[in-house]
Structure 1
């Protein structure tokens, strides 16, 4: 369920309905996101660092470029009615981190996620964005 929603989010961002995984991909790389965690609260307009573990990423994939999207989870969330916010693009997956700026107009809620796309997608735990 979550993965299909994330694929839909990526399709909306890229303007396509195809899967982000190309036919040449034999290995699916889904690095574990280590930050943000459920315990954090980010403020709109702030600069934050998204991190992920890199030990499981094969050497051949470390130079792939990635993209980080901001989304949210809820029972009423309709990925077709809302475009995700790309927070970062064109960074090296092997770096294990990317700085992002939270859009100033991001509404407060406690079910945000960030999604890391490179070869495949991986979502963070839910976290909060709230005005301070």
Structure 2
């Protein structure tokens, strides 16, 4: 759900110098378009993440984003298992509607992966799968040897409760 200063009654522009820092908050929560449900990525590959920018307004300025990888457990227990300490991308402009991420070559193969786009709020993609490096049937794999996540397994990772609370899960 997108909430902006225009939707709050008796609220002034976030650019108004008389507003407190808390009053100036803008919540921009775009829908992630890619990866879509059923998408398959390959460990070690570069992928484009896209989101809807139709609700982005000029007065938001240049909001910056972060993308992290997560995975739901098969039994739906354990939250989102976000790899928040190793973002796939950060400091990109949310107004662009896209950014490229590198899937670490050490990412465990599996299903129920999600991408979480965070700026001043969070939004999760639909679930998708990741295959091992070398098993993507013709998909171009790129590796620069600089995988920032060593032996990434989100099912064994810890995640910040505050991040989990900030994420809006997509409806089924």
TM-score, normalised to structure 1's length?
A: 0.75
Aligned CA distance change for structure 1 residues 25 and 32 (closer, same or farther; 3 Å): farther
Go from structure 1 to structure 2 and tell me whether the alpha carbon gap of 1:76 and 1:91 turns closer, same or farther (over 3 Å shift): same
State the partner residue of 1:8. none
Task: State the partner residue of 2:111.
Answer: 110
Distance (Å, rounded) in 1 between the aligned partners of 2:126 and 2:24:
26
Q: Quick one: higher RCO (CA 8 Å, sep 6+), 1 or 2?
A: 1
Residues 85-121 of structure 1 deviation map (CA, whole Å, 9 limit, x = unaligned): 3100110000000000001110011110000011211
Flag the 1:59–1:90 CA change in 2: closer, same or farther, 3 A: same
Task: Map residues 1-80 of structure 1 onto 2, 5 A cutoff.
Answer: 23-61=22-60, 63-74=62-73, 75-77=76-78
Distance in 2, Cα, partners of 1:54 & 1:102: 24
Aligned to 1:92: 93
The count of residues paired between Structure 1 and Structure 2 equals: 110
User: For the residues of structure 1 that align with 2:63 and 2:107, how far apart are their CA atoms?
Assistant: 29
Unaligned runs of 5+ in 2: 1-20, 136-172
SS in 2 for 1:86: coil
CA distance in 1, matches of 2:82, 2:39: 24
Kindly name which structure, 1 or 2, has the bigger radius of gyration based on alpha carbons: 2
Match of 1:130 in 2: 131
| Structure 1 segments unaligned to the other structure (5+ residues) | 1-21
Partner of 1:5: none
What does residue 6 of structure 1 align with? Answer: none
User: What corresponds to 2:147 in structure 1?
Assistant: none
